[in-house]
Structure 1
Amino acid sequence: MNSTFQEVPWLTLLVAWPLVGAAAVWLTATARTRGVASGALRAVRGIALGAALVELALLACAFTAFDTSDAGTHQLVETHAWIPQLGVSYAVGADGVALALVALAVVLVPLVVLAAWKEQESDVRRLRHYLALVLLLEAFMVAVFVARDVFFFYVLFEAMLIPVYFLIGGFGVGARRRYAAVKFLMFSLAGGLIMLAAVIALYVQVPLDPTTGLRPEDAFLTSNLVEYFAQNPMPVTTERLLFLGFFVAFAIKAPLFPVHTWLPDAAQHARAGTSTLLVAVLDKVGTFGMLTLCLPLFPRASDWAAPVVIVLAVISILYGALMAIGQSDLMRLIAYTSVSHFGFIVLGIFAFSSLSIAGSSLYMVNHGISTGALFLVAGFLVARHPERSQRIADYGGLQKVVPVLAGTFLVAGLSALSLPGLSTFVSEIMVIVGTFAVSHWAALVAVLGVVLAALYVLLTYQRVFTGGTPAELDSIPDLGAREKWVIAPLIALLLVLGLYPAPALDLVREPAQVTLSDLAPAGVQDPPPTDPFADASVTAEGSES
């Protein structure tokens, strides 16, 4: 690889370009006459889609410059002093997991732009603001996954709230959309304030430079903090309190039971595209933070908290699945399925085996593809109802009216229940098998979530797409060309990564081993594979003798 090509600041370009696109969309002139307004609509859509596609090209360049054989190391690194008096830096870098999540965000944004092509069709200004906020959110999502400075990460963690709040409250659906937006904001701000206290307390733990009387200029760099605290462990109580400060904020963002209640309301009242970015990408910041900050910075506290976190994860798996079965609103149902899936991700992270951690990292990506497909297809379905109803009972018998839409919904739904041959199966089986080596009971109870997933997916398909068709829906159109372009890449990814997951596994395998090495101060070791039938075979041999 050409060294000059590798020295290009690809990550900074990936962060900056959506900001340029958002500014261009916002500055697009609008006209009041109908003919000119039509041209303004085309201009706004074209600029937003063009910016999202250029971002895809930049992502391809970043992957070309990234050495997959060394995916456990942060690459494409840039570090610049930002607030040197406080030791804060603009520091970015990506290992395999971070780059995979950046790719998830960058791939989904142009699909969301296409899905919103006809939203606010008669109001250029609203469409302009909506698409600009989507691009702004893309910049924040990319930045937070590559941030390597704890304070910089926190700033981005909070900044993401702004575009999401307006996307839900200003462009959502239903009379309670503002309530949902405020509830999302209050939960997120509460977690952010707790995290801010922990960030400040973490800063105090770093010793002053005796020559300057200040903290080092790079005091907040994650790698420096991990190295320093490995050599100079914090007091036990201090480490546990700091861990809880970060973990609570990440659990709210994830979301993990019992701090998940903002998600169903947000998903119910947001646009399908907004829900796609919120649940498929933005919520991964929570589990990504657990993996890349909680575990390496607070290894002993992570080991101390792991039994309780595993219990909460298992509860999330079962609770989310059971709640999904009982939902009457399609968007709330998809939201509760994600509560269940995030339980699997958290379970794999805190099982502390290389297989389960790699499986959780891969699960974050696969869940984003699967849930993104579900939300977008559900949005296409709701848009065809005369009253844009999200009530499952208002549908029925649509597989013979819109067979392509029904087929894509079924594939996306089967991915949610981790059908073999689809990408989610690979990650879910890795989490379960990796967890079994550490905790038999947790893995066995988590398997019940797979059974319940089959119920909520197949029952929903039966209620929406089989049986009698309501009169108002017996002539609705099937997916058009634009909508097929939106959903086809996601279905293709589910199939390709399900049948050939090696490229994705190459990105997450080494980072999982690095995470386990960061946990070494707590005495955590990678458990050997466990044969669930070993005891039974020994007993049988003993009885025969």
Structure 2
Amino acid sequence: MIDISESVMQFLLALIVAGPLLGAAAALLPAPPGLKGKSPEQAVLRHGVVVTGAILIAAIVLALGFDHDQPSRMQATTDISWIPALDVRIHLGIDGISLPLLVLTALLTFLCAVYSYFNLPAGPSPKAFVALLLVLEAGTLATFAVLDLLLFFLAFEMVLIPMYFLIARWGGAGRTRAAWKFILYTLLGSVVMLLGLLLIGIKAGTFDMVALATDNGRSLSTSVQVIAVLAVGIGLAVKTPMWPLHSWLPDAHTAAPTVGSVLLAGVLLKMGTYGFVRIVLPVAPDGFHTFAPYLAALAVVGIIYGSLACLALARQGAKGDLKRLIAYSSVGHMGFVLLGIASTTPTGVNGALFANIAHGLITGLLFFLVGALKDRTGTSDLDTLAEETGAALYGKAPRLGGLLAFAAVASLGLPGLAGFWGEMLALFGAFDPADGLNRTAFLTYTAIAAFGTLLTAAYLLVVVRRVCMGAVPRDAPRLTDVRGYEFAAWTPLVVLTVVAGLWPKALLGLTDPAVQQLLAGGNR
């Protein structure tokens, strides 16, 4: 921790939110003559790396200047009147819940920019690609930083258009259908969510999320809370994605370019679960309490469903797409996050937040690796990889095979790596849920979810066995192993996965005080 004044912290947070938008506008302008390099294309890609790198540095400095002794207090706050008639304010701030997600977003976007500099997906203008990437970053960062319900909704929606175009214009086979499915599902969910947010703001007399959390639902009747939780929860559940509102996700991941899949899994899915923790839990606690058992039930169905879908895709002869398999695995992993939130306990919610970060690191790495494998072999079909192209990856490209195995065992929750702690704490939270929740039902959910961890291990180990192991045929062409730029893009994810697994206090020390205060209705 370093000593930074509050005004500097405010400036850094404003820069983090607004900087990518300014960078996106600059990306569409002609490059100055001295910065063109070998080509205008190279100049705009370098611009993307510089802007996302500057945002990452600002996020790291902000994290270092954050008062770790008071992680439950909103810091670096800016509060300016924007639309007085509606009492909408430009209200920014971070606490121990939002700070890790802010840094994760800045990191993953920077790594995607570095990766794209050397391996730009085929598509239209690189200028448009960089601009869309930066707008996507701005919307995601703003979602985790704003403290006004209407601003939250605007930031939440801001990411849809750039992700739609990244899939539709730079994606692979089936990209048009996948992009339309993504935008229609999420827009329909968002319309319902907006109605719920307006209901909360009008009935409570404010859209300020800090004031609403402090009020803890006292100004909202139980019936209003129930309606608001149902409306807001549907929009958040689509983005999470919660079964059965998940069907847009596999198509989007399968068709998206590598960096699109990394950002979609690494940060966009977290916007939904963050909304549950930041808005639904503290603002409408009675309404959430009503729906918590149903949310937990849908969460465990998602865990089992996602794992069974992955097992079906992993079996020999299924012609399963590896990107699609990882997408379905996200449905299962986010089920653990929702189960932890549904427990309404500090243990469960901390587990959910930890699992959010772990999933972003590990699944981001998995999509990077599968994208690299597809670049080398021309396919992500598991049968083709296992039988013709990429079999015995340990022998053909040992570093790539080793990284794929590492990401797989991290994803299955191996103790000592990041994936373990979030799922374990979510199960502990469900084992002993908050007062008033049916203990027997939650014990059943815990048992089913624990069985889901076995299924997760099964399909991931099948993938490793089929793709990585086996004897290398004499006439088999060797694959290019990990390149320098890939090593640079993937190493931070590997290191952070290990650090978070061995030293979970680094993250839990931030989230726990903020969660305790949020659940107590004392967020000030």
Taking structure 2 as the reference length, the TM-score comes to: 0.91
Give 1:65 deviation, angstroms.
Answer: 2.4
User: Which residues in structure 2 correspond to 1:82-481 (within 5 Å)?
Assistant: 82-120=82-120, 126-174=125-173, 176-207=174-205, 219-228=206-215, 230-234=217-221, 236-327=222-313, 328-385=320-377, 388-395=378-385, 396-438=391-433, 439-467=442-470, 474-481=477-484
The code of the aligned residue for 2:72 comes to G
* Secondary structure at the counterpart of residue 389 of structure 1: coil
The one-letter amino acid paired with 1:307 is: P
Q: Is the 8 A contact 2:42 2:117 kept in 1?
A: no
Please tell me the root mean square deviation across aligned C-alpha atoms, in Å: 2.1
Q: Deviations over 1:168-196 (max 9, x none)?
A: 1111111x101000000000010011012
Listed one character per residue, the Cα deviations across residues 371-424 of structure 1 (whole Å, up to 9, x for unaligned) are 000000110000001xx2110111112210000000011111111101011111
SS at match of 1:170: helix
Q: What is the identity, as a one-letter code, of the residue corresponding to 2:397?
A: V
In 1, Cα distance between equivalents of 2:122 and 2:417: 39
Tell me the distance in 2 between the aligned counterparts of 1:479 and 1:347: 37
1:237 Cα offset (Å): 2.2
Post-superposition shift, 1:465?
1.7
Q: Distance in 2 between matches of 1:145 and 1:157?
A: 9
Retained in 1: the 8 A contact 2:139–2:155?
yes
Q: How has the CA–CA distance of structure 1 residues 352 and 472 changed in structure 2, closer, same or farther, with 3 Å as cutoff?
A: farther
Is the 8 Å Cα contact of residues 5 and 65 (structure 1) preserved in structure 2? no
**CA–CA distance in structure 2, aligned partners of residues 374 and 498 of structure 1:** 17
Picking from 13, 16, 25, the partner of 1:14 is: 16
User: Is the contact between residue 310 and residue 351 of structure 1 (CA under 8 Å) also seen in structure 2?
Assistant: yes
Cα deviation code 1:25-53 (max 9, x no counterpart): 2224599xxxx894223312221111111
Deviation string, structure 1 residues 426-453 (Cα, Å, up to 9, x no partner): 2221111222122322222111111111
Q: Is the 8 A contact 1:75 1:93 kept in 2?
A: yes
Percent pairwise identity: 32
Matched residue SS, 1:96: coil
Q: Take 1:440 and 1:361, find their aligned partners in 2: how far apart are those partners? A: 21
CA contact (8 A) 1:78 1:93 kept: yes
Q: Which amino acid aligns with 2:380?
A: Q
Shift of 1:115: 1.9
In structure 2, the CA distance between the partners of 1:120 and 1:62, relative to structure 1 (3 Å rule), is closer
1:223 maps to amino acid = V
**Whole-angstrom CA distance in 2 between matches of 1:226 and 1:191:** 23
Q: Which residue of 2 aligns with 1:540?
A: none
Letter in 2 for 1:191: G
Quote the Cα distance in structure 1 between the aligned partners of 2:504 and 2:212.
34
CA–CA distance in structure 1, aligned partners of residues 457 and 71 of structure 2: 35
What's the secondary structure of 1:93's corresponding residue? strand
Q: 1:285 to 1:189 in 2, by over 3 A?
A: same
Q: Is the 8 A contact 1:120 1:126 kept in 2?
A: no
SS in 1 for 2:53: helix
Gaps (5+ residues) in structure 1? 208-218, 521-545
What SS does the corresponding residue of 2:117 show, helix, strand or coil? Answer: coil
Deviation of the 1:9 alpha carbon: 2.1
Maintained 8 Å contact 1:69/1:506: no
* Alpha-carbon distance in 1 for matches of 2:30, 2:466: 44
CA distance in 1, matches of 2:463, 2:148: 44
Deviation at 1:140, TM superposition (A): 0.8
Cα distance between partner residues in 2 of 1:519 and 1:28: 50
Structure 2 unmatched runs, 5+: 314-319, 386-390, 434-441
AA at the equivalent of 1:103: V
2-structure distance, mates of 1:315, 1:121: 36
Alpha-carbon displacement from aligned partner over 1:120-162 (angstroms, at most 9, x marks no partner): 5887x62222122111111111101111000110111111101
- Cα gap change, 1:3 to 1:514, in 2 (>3 Å): same
Match of 1:524 in 2: none
One-letter identity of the residue aligned with 2:113: V
Offset, 1:504: 1.1
Larger radius of gyration: 1
- Which secondary structure state, in structure 1, belongs to the residue aligned with residue 97 of structure 2? helix
What is the CA–CA distance in structure 1 between the aligned matches of 2:425 and 2:202, rounded to whole Å? 39
The two structures have a TM-score, normalised by structure 1, of 0.88
Cα separation, 2, equivalents of 1:73 and 1:304:
28
What is the rounded CA distance, in whole Å, between the counterparts of 2:112 and 2:501 in structure 1? 23
Distance (whole Å) between structure 1 residues aligned to residue 484 and residue 29 of structure 2: 29
Where does residue 60 of structure 2 map in the other structure? 60
Aligned to 1:216: none
Tell me how far 1:224 sits from its aligned partner.
Answer: 2.1
